[in-house]
Amino acid sequence: MDEKIQKAVQLIRESNKVIVLTGAGISTESGIPDFRSPETGLWEKIDPMKALSTNILLNNPEQFYALGFKILTSMLDAKPNKSHEILAKMEREGHISTLVTQNIDNLHQKAGSQNVLEVHGHIREGYCLNCHAKLSLEKIKEKVEHKEVPPKCMLCGGIVRPSVVMFGDPLPSCFDQAWNETENADLLIVIGSSLEVGPVNYLAHICKKLIIINLAHTAYDHRAAVCISEKASEVLNKIYQLLKNN
């Protein structure tokens, strides 16, 4: 692995602009299951379309708040792990400029990352479909626990939904920014993502240079200058130590 680490550090050093793309695999070491790991992935047990799709959210809110919503609230108390902390330090020390994440768990922000593009939304709050007033996820959770399903807006009585991008939703405008930044960057580092879900996986296609740090193989491994199939925290720790010491 060390030769690959050295190559990765050399690519980071040579790059003026480095973008990182993270997926659920970076949060497994915080106790949040990912979606597609064999045996442990969430979608191994649950049909994503029955859990986190707009169809269920809007047409069967009872089912959504009994299942999919619980996946969201289960992440609220999670703590960032070593990987999140190292990426925040790498941003502070100028090694990475933008962090694009498919994760909704807010762990990059909890670890101190500033320039984060949450292309699949986040679990911090929800909004009213009618007047767009915002509401914390904690408040929405309280309403649901008091059998208010679907939860209603306190200003206009409209239906409130989580600010998470679900299957069937369009991506938020920050994805356009992620696309432009990746096009203009020298290097994209993908960490903990199967790269199975579009259009975010296209970032691994348009980037000039690619590093993949992921336990499982992905369809983009052939494009990567460096591919490391080890645990994110171990790899990032080695990369960071090498960056710091030279």
Enumerate binding residues for ligand APR (CB under 6 A). Answer: 23-25, 28-29, 34-37, 41, 48, 102, 120, 192-194, 196-197, 214-216, 231-232
Closer CB to ligand APR, 153 or 235, in the complex: 235
User: Residue 175's closest CA among 98, 113, 105, 107?
Assistant: 98
Residue 132 is among the residues annotated as catalytic for this protein:
no
Give the CB-nearest residue to ligand APR. Answer: 25
Tell the smallest beta-carbon distance from residue 44 to ligand APR (Å): 10
CA distances from 79 to 30, 83, 90, 105 (A): 6, 11, 19, 9
Closer CB to ligand APR, 80 or 192, in the complex: 192
Tell the smallest beta-carbon distance from residue 67 to ligand APR (Å): 14
Tell the smallest beta-carbon distance from residue 95 to ligand APR (Å): 19
Q: Please, is 225 exposed, middle or buried when counting C-beta atoms within 10 Å of its C-beta (0-12, 13-18, 19+)?
A: middle
CA distances from 190 to 32, 182, 202, 224 (A): 18, 12, 12, 10
Rounded distance between C-alpha atoms, residue 122 and residue 113, angstroms: 15
Closer CB to ligand APR, 153 or 195, in the complex: 195
**Active site residue: 108, 120, 146, 217, which one?**
120
Closer CB to ligand APR, 29 or 186, in the complex: 29
Rounded distance between C-alpha atoms, residue 119 and residue 178, angstroms: 8
Please identify every residue annotated as catalytic. 120
